[in-house]
Amino acid sequence: MTKVACIGECMIELKQAAGGLYSRGYGGDTLNTAVYLARLGVDVDYITALGDDPLSDEMLAGWAAEGVGTKHVLRLPGKLPGLYMIQTDQKGERRFFHWRESSAARSLMDLAETGDILNSLGNYDLVYLSAITLSLYNESGRRRLIAALMRAREGGARFAFDTNFRVRGWPDLDIARAAYREAFEAADIVLASTEDLLALYSGESTDGLMARISSAEAVLKLSEPASIVRFEGVSHEVKAEPVVNTVVDTTAAGDSFAAAYLAARLRGANPLEAARAGHRLAGVVVCHPGAIIPRSAMPANVISNPSAPRRASL
């Protein structure tokens, strides 16, 4: 069976509830993608570090209940998960506030077990991480991770990179641009958005943004409900189906798009079909509050004519 590894950080999530109160859950961009991949039938492991506290215990139990593998989750005594709060406006657009400077996940590239974790990447068919993942580590940690990904690719694994950008995660934009350039050069698939990339390359055209992505396969989600998909040297526009319900929270729209896109590609769908699947799932996710929608809300037809997962020519 096709196996996927997602690398990153999961945090405690506080989201708005009635009466000025907040409800508690958990989320993080790559963890959200891992959960949606598992719900779409993909065998997926999550790679991160957590503390030895009850909240970390709760996270692990929740991931296992979703079918996400946890054998590569390290537990660090005395550490805690990070925390973030979501505020949404009347259009469902979100604003994040983070408390994560000393979270356990930030230590993942600097532990005695790190070498074993990185060597394990060669056992997967696909490794997925985001720019937020890269922002957790210092330059040495990022280079160590990219080098491990390159070794895994030499053994047949594929690397998918999501451009998810949070400006507060980076010391300055030049460091972020350098990290993105290295990831673009290493990746087989890049999942990008104009929202992310224009924050780094202000004023750039859509064609200019696509030209900065050196991977053979790239998806650029646009500000309107559509994306540009490039593969085999040709770019195509894919329009999203209209969202019929009220948009209440755009949190995890990109994460769910990534999950459906990658799940479709792993089932043998071409990139255009995969982009349609991504838009389809994201269009449902934005109609629910929080990062992870209820299982009962998962649409049955995310991937058209799904077959048993198999290794695709990514």
Q: What pLDDT does 314 receive?
A: 63
The owner of tokens 């071409």 is 270
Count of CB atoms within 10 A of residue 205's CB?
A: 10
Largest CA distance in the chain: 54
Query: 171-198 pLDDT, tens per residue?
Result: 999 999 999 999 999 999 999 999 999 9
> Contact at 8 Å (CB) between 250 and 302?
no
Domain boundaries, the chain: 3-9+32-47+118-297
Classify domain 3-9+32-47+118-297 by CATH architecture.
3-Layer(aba) Sandwich (3.40)
The set of catalytic residues is 255
Q: Which residues pair with 7 in a beta bridge?
A: 47
Mean pLDDT per 10-residue run, the chain (314 residues)? Answer: 90 83 89 98 98 96 97 96 83 77 95 97 98 97 98 97 95 97 98 98 97 97 96 96 88 94 97 97 92 91 63 51
